[in-house]
Structure formats: structure tokens, C-alpha cells
Amino acid sequence: MSKVLIHATVSLDGFMADASGGVEWMNGFPVDPADEAVVSRVVGEIGAVVGGANKTQTIEDGEIPYGGILGVPVFLMTHTPHESIERDGIIYEFVVDDVVEAVSAAKQAAGDKWVSVLGGSISRQCLEKGLVDEIVLDVVPILLGSGISLFTGLSRQMRLERIDTSGFASEVHLRYRVLA
């Protein structure tokens, strides 16, 4: 059965993007082959993605999940209906205002592989509804001070169980099971 996980690269102070939505700060850190192996293992298990659509319901170059390397179906949350889009062999399905439906469709598409949930708002909605099995974070050594938070805004505390922790050149990799 498919596992649902939040997978994100974050700053040490918990931001997934700077205040303008940029992620360029993630680049330029030393990388060890062991860091790449940890990330590759997770990415290799992903069979579908759930995220948020942009305001124009288009698929722009900088918005393609995982840079398009996965080649898996993507389910995008939106407030208005939109036809599916195919780009570079990837199908982008738009789901209107029902994150449970989006995750269910993604799980079906993923089969035995995992569903990766991307973005702060979508991740928080999935956590609130009890849809997330694990949280996988790749933490880079930078303090942004402000930006777009991955978890700020949850309505309740959530307990986690650490499954794995590793660190190599500059990143620290954290993996937690969501308990409640």
C-alpha cells in the first residue's frame, strides 16, 4: 500500500522558501555522495505527487516537482476546475478543494510506491486530516530569518517518532513517522 510523506528541503529555521518564494538559497552547499544517496533513495520510491497549483493553473519551468526527473503523475490542488495538462510526458491533474480526493487519487496512481506531498499549505492540510504517514526533511545549514514556513499554522500539536537521522557534508536528513 502506498505511503504518504511530506518531503522537503528546509532551512535550519524551518523555511521551505524565502519571503518571495525563492529557493535559490538551497544551492551552493558542499554535497557528499552519501547525501545524494539518502535523497535518491527517497526520490526513487515516489510514485505520485500532490501539491498546489499556481494562480494561472499552468505548469511553468521552475514549478515542476523534482524538476521533472520523477516522471510520475502530479495532482494539483486548485479552487477552480481545469482540464488536465500533459507536459514532457507527465500528467498534471487538477483537483478542486478536496485534498482527501487528491491524496486518494495519488495513492491509486502510485500503486506500491509513495506519494510525496509538496508545499506548506497542502502539507498542513494533509497533516490536519491525518493523511500523512511520514515527514522527510533535508535540512541545509542556513538561517533565513523569514520566509514561507512548512509547518507554521497547524491548529494542533502533532507527535512524531524519529525513524532515521543522518548527516554528511552539509545537509542533515531527518525522517519521522507521524503518530497523531
DSSP per-residue letters across the chain? ---EEEEEEEETTSEEE-TTS--GGGSS----HHHHHHHHHHHHTEEEEEEEPPTT----GGGSGGGG-S---EEEEESS----EEETTEEEEEEES-HHHHHHHHHHHHTTSEEEE-SHHHHHHHHHTT---EEEEEEES---SSSEESSTT-SS---EEEEEEEE-SS-EEEEEEE--
Please report which confidence band the pLDDT of residue 96 belongs to, taking 50, 70 and 90 as the band edges. Answer: confident
Tally of residues, the chain: 180
Q: Which residue in 71, 24, 21 sits closest to 49, CA to CA?
A: 71
What does the pLDDT average to over 37-55? 87
Asked if 33 and 102 touch (Cβ cutoff 8 Å), the reply is no
Give me Rg for the CA atoms of the chain. Answer: 16
Nearest alpha-carbon partner for 100 in 122, 133, 74: 122
**58-67, 87-96, 157-166: segment of lowest average pLDDT:** 58-67
pTM score: 0.90
Residue 60 has pLDDT above 70, yes or no: no
Least confident range of 22-26, 68-72, 81-85, 173-177: 68-72
The pLDDT of residue 61 is above 70 = no
